[in-house]
A and B are shown apart, each in its own frame.
Chain A
Amino acid sequence: DGGITQSPKYLFRKEGQNVTLSCEQNLNHDAMYWYRQDPGQGLRLIYYSQIVNDFQKGDIAEGYSVSREKKESFPLTVTSAQKNPTAFYLCASSTRRKEKNIQYFGAGTRLSVL
């Protein structure tokens, strides 16, 4: 079955620690995205990538980093510089430059601070 897999489902971060969230897709999509969702709020774009080896900052990139070495994978690292990392993180992918830009989402990773 084609889809997007995020892991882990739950993650705990200690003070000063970097943590990496995994996102893998087998939909053969060119574009991938990372969003942050806080309780009762919409999705805010952290980073996006429209092609391998290229990515762009979204609205709230500070304290986060990404890489796109393979088409299928777009990991997100939450660095110690992100002072308020507790949130629900969603990864998505889409076919590049289709008019609708329909995005397909993974099941999410819930990150908490210990």
Chain B
Amino acid sequence: GQSLEQPSEVTAVEGAIVQINCTYQTSGFYGLSWYQQHDGGAPTFLSYNALDGLEETGRFSSFLSRSDSYGYLLLQELQMKDSASYFCAVLARSNYQLIWGAGTKLIIKP
């Protein structure tokens, strides 16, 4: 089977840096994606890693290591508006569909 594991909740302080981890078990995938979802809202795409290494997009960076079956999302200079749930998802080779993790709720304290 295919599954992704994320911590259910992470707490950080405004202005700090936080890392949200994602470990996966999958037989084959194209890449690892990250989405953000505010409470009651729609998920929005943040980042995608097709290859091992770091991808940077402003305050957000995402990392993938296929040999370790592991990825993470790094958020810098945290702002209160970053309080949301963050989902990792892999794009499966078998049917070109996204398989989603259960999400990590990020709580930011002033």
Measuring CB to CB, which residues of chain A are less than 8 angstroms from any residue of chain B? Answer: 40-45, 48, 56, 58, 90, 97, 99-108
Q: Is the CB of A40 within 8 A of B8?
A: yes
Q: Does B33 contact A (CB under 8 A)?
A: yes
Inter-chain contacts of A90 with B (CB < 8 A): 42-43
Q: B8: nearest residue on chain A (CB-CB)?
A: A40
Q: Is the CB of B45 within 8 A of A41?
A: no
For B40-78 the 0/1 string (1 means CB < 8 A from A) is 111111001010000000000000000000000000000
Count of chain B residues with a beta carbon within 8 Å of a chain A beta carbon: 23
The complex places the Cα of A40 from the Cα of B91 at a distance, in Å, of 22
Inter-chain contacts of B103 with A (CB < 8 A): 40-42
Q: Is the CB of B96 within 8 A of A101?
A: yes
Q: Is the CB of B43 within 8 A of A45?
A: no
Q: Which listed residue, A42, A97, A101, A106, touches B87 by the CB 8 Å rule?
A: A42
13 contacting pairs across A/B (C-beta < 8 A): A40-B105, A41-B103, A42-B87, A42-B100, A42-B101, A42-B103, A43-B87, A43-B100, A99-B30, A101-B96, A102-B33, A103-B45, A105-B44
Q: Is the CB of B42 within 8 A of A105?
A: yes
Q: B100: nearest residue on chain A (CB-CB)?
A: A42
For B74-110 the 0/1 string (1 means CB < 8 A from A) is 0000000000000100010001111011110100000
Inter-chain contacts of A102 with B (CB < 8 A): 33, 45, 48
Q: Is the CB of B45 within 8 A of A99?
A: no
Smallest beta-carbon distance B49→chain A, Å: 10
Smallest beta-carbon distance B31→chain A, Å: 7
Inter-chain contacts of A41 with B (CB < 8 A): 102-103
Q: Is the CB of B91 within 8 A of A100?
A: yes
Given A99-B50, A103-B43, A104-B45, output 5 extra A-B contacts at Cβ < 8 Å. A40-B105, A45-B97, A100-B48, A101-B97, A105-B42
